[in-house]
Amino acid sequence: MHTDVVAMHISNGIIGIPVSAIAGVFAAVALAFCVARARADLDDRLAPMAGLVAAFLFAVQMLNFPILPGVSGHLLGGALAAILVGPWVGGLCVALVLTVQALLFADGGLTALGLNVVNMGIVGAFVAYGIVVLLLRVLPKNASGLVTAAWITSVVSVVAASQAFVLEYALGGTTDLSLVGIAGTMAGFHLLIGVGEAFITAITVGTVAKVRPDLVYVLRGRRQPLLLVTAATERAA
């Protein structure tokens, strides 16, 4: 008997082959697009940083935390990746982790890899990026603003990813069960998982922003105005 968590992602056979294949093609096209756009972002600094983000995601995804009696959750990572390295590189980071897990750790079926990449890599990272950019515009431009944005972004992106699974199940589920029931269960569990994800993302992003703000993608272009403001304030003082 094993007590370890052995599978964390969609297994084979839950979603039928046609929808899984369509998701695979969609994932491949989306990732190719990500690679094309990521090249503009990836410089000598971001490239190794992105490798580190992928490795960190792999590590933290192993850390299942309890959310309810008998139910656990783990980081999906879309929000963390999008905030630290941007949506294009971030989506690639999550996809890489899922691929390593599926090929080497027997986690997430090979036929379901496209589904998992779409949900956690594409939906997770891009929903997160859209929200965090909006939030950073309205929230105070300081550490607590960033941490708050990371928090909200994590919860929303995790629930969004869970509903992407519900959509896939609606389109190609191999069983015929109440969609409303599954949508509700998935949303409820992932709201709680999102809170856990929010803690991890906020701590990680907050730490990197403190140590190396220049390595936080969503803060790019912000240092300049901040410096100007500081200089102007000093002159005024």
Partner 1 sequence: MSAGRTRLAVFLVGGLLVSLVLAGVVSNLASGSPDGLDSATLDGCTTNSDGEITGGNCPAREAGDHELADSPFADYGIKGIDNEFVATGLSGVAGVLITFAIGGGLFWLVRRRPTGTTRSGTDKTEG
Q: List binders of partner 1 among 49-88 (CB under 8 A).
A: 49-60, 62-67, 70-74
Nearest in space to 24 (alpha carbons), one of 128, 104, 105, 110: 110
Q: How far is the CB of 158 from partner 1 (least distance, A)?
A: 9
Q: Using alpha carbons only, what angle is made at residue 170 by residues 28 and 108, rounded to the nearest 5 degrees?
A: 50
Tokens representing 43 are 């410089």
72, containing H or E segment: strand 71-73
Q: What are phi and psi of 157, to 5 degrees?
A: -70, -35
Interacting residues with partner 1 between 16 and 35 (CB under 8 A): 35
CA 146, distance to chain mean position in Å, is: 16
Residue closer to partner 1 by CB (options 37, 139) is 37
| Residue reference for tokens 């959509």 | 167
The DSSP line for 82-93 is: HHHH-HHHHHHH
Q: Is 97 in the site for partner 1 (CB under 8 A)?
A: yes
Binding-site member from 17, 29, 32, 110 for partner 1 (CB under 8 A):
110
State how far the Cα of 237 lies from the Cα of 219, in Å rounded to an integer.
27
Residue closer to partner 1 by CB (options 99, 148) is 99
Binding-site member from 105, 141, 142, 226 for partner 1 (CB under 8 A):
105
Q: Is 118 in the site for partner 1 (CB under 8 A)?
A: no
Tokens representing 39 are 């090249």
Q: Is 48 in the site for partner 1 (CB under 8 A)?
A: yes
Q: Is 106 in the site for partner 1 (CB under 8 A)?
A: yes
For residue 82, the one-letter residue type is A
Residue closer to partner 1 by CB (options 8, 135) is 8
Q: Is 234 in the site for partner 1 (CB under 8 A)?
A: no
* SS3 state of residue 101: helix
Binding-site member from 14, 83, 117, 155 for partner 1 (CB under 8 A):
14
| Only segment of 101-109, 133-141, 148-156, 218-226 that touches partner 1 (CB under 8 A) | 101-109
The Cβ of residue 230 has, within 10 Å, a number of other Cβ atoms equal to 10
Binding-site member from 21, 22, 100, 167 for partner 1 (CB under 8 A):
100
* CA dihedral for 58, 219, 193, 157, sign (positive or negative): negative
Binding-site member from 103, 171, 228, 232 for partner 1 (CB under 8 A):
103
Q: How far is the CB of 232 from partner 1 (least distance, A)?
A: 27
Residue closer to partner 1 by CB (options 21, 41) is 41
| Residue reference for tokens 């992928």 | 54
Binding-site member from 138, 177, 236, 237 for partner 1 (CB under 8 A):
177
